[in-house]
Amino acid sequence: MGKTEKAGLLLALMLPGLASAASLGEINIQLRGNVVDLSCVAAPGDADKTVQLGRWATKQLATAGSTSSLVPFSLRLMGCPPGSVSITFSGRAASVPSLLALDDGSSAGNVAVEIRGGDRQRLALASESQDVVVDNDGNATLRFFANYIAISDNVTAGSADADATFMINYY
């Protein structure tokens, strides 16, 4: 018997043993992760924050795309694990999906709220903000801006309130 025939016989003898080691349809899955003691929380006063966007004349929002001035605000986080964090805002979308719709109780018309990241670029709803590094004490401050934006011509006067919820993303 030559080397090739011996190798073939050895392989034929091993195959039945290999096939029985893993049955058809059997799949092995490994699940891995970490459990951490730390999780970010909003600093006192930032969990239920009110950002005053001010009073604006309808003539300043006369045409679609017109905006009020940017109003800065920040969210301070504490107790974060090492790494970085970002924020994702959610809420009821306006007719322009990246914008936050006014609450049902608001009486102004044809206007929405625009949230912008620290770079002053529009931060669409359900999109993550830029990452911010967590400091050695587990704190991070994320900076944002908000403003009114006309979503069509002829904004009508009235109360213009909106609600957003934020989710903290860890990295």
pLDDT, averaged in runs of 10, over the chain (171 residues): 46 49 67 67 90 96 96 95 95 95 96 97 96 96 97 96 93 84
pLDDT at residue 156 in the model: 97
Q: Would you state the CATH architecture of domain 41-47+54-158+165-170? A: Sandwich (2.60)
Give 151's DSSP letter.
Answer: S
> Alpha-carbon torsion 121, 65, 73, 69, what sign?
positive
**Residue 114, SS3 per DSSP:** strand
pLDDT given at position 13: 47
